[in-house]
Amino acid sequence: MNLTVNGQARTITVEPRTTLLDALRENLGLTGTKKACDRGECGACTVHIDGRRVLSCMTLVAMQEGKNITTIEGLEQNGIFHPLQSAFIEHDGFQCGFCTSGQIMSGVAMIEEVRAGWPSAATTDLAASFSLANLSREEIRERMSGNLCRCACYPNIVDAVADAVARS
């Protein structure tokens, strides 16, 4: 298979039933994406495919040929952290760190979803246009609800996302 991962063309040989998560970790050595529940329930394996967040444990790598895959390793550019990565550090948005890469990948995609005007279950007026200026703490919590943190760092994660939004 030919994949584009973090902007680099990569070639791997895998079984058809191999998940994207296993291919990233085992075939490409990209261990920032975490294998936790392996059932699509926790969000620790969140990556971006063509800019949209997906659970890599529930995604077959065989279906990703020709698509752009971004992992946590691909967010940093030229030694400079993505603003959300920096905000997670500044706001102590992690404790054990196991969920952190998935939280950050989900947060980055969530911010782009808001920029595109997508509403959430917490959006009160679906007819009105939605922008980053409308992104309340309640909206952030709802939009990040698919990512679990066993250490319960949720208030700090919300702070980090809100700070990254304010910087953009």
- Domain ranges in the chain are 2-74, 83-167
> What number is the average pLDDT over the span 140-148?
96
Residue 166 has a CB neighbour count (10 Å cut-off) of 11
CATH topology of domain 2-74: Ubiquitin-like (UB roll) (3.10.20)
Helix (H, G, I), strand (E, B) or coil at 49: strand
Residue of 41 and 134 predicted with greater confidence: 41
pLDDT at 129: 87
CB 46 within 8 A of CB 38: no
Q: What does pLDDT average to over the chain?
A: 95
Q: Is the pLDDT of residue 47 over 90?
A: yes
- Tokens 């998935």, located at residue: 102
Q: Cα 103–72–108 angle (5° rounding)? A: 50
pLDDT at 148: 96
Q: Is the pLDDT of residue 134 over 90?
A: no
pLDDT at 157: 98
CATH code assigned to 83-167: 1.10.150.120
2-5 sheet: strands from edge to edge: 8-11, 2-5, 68-70, 46-49, 52-55
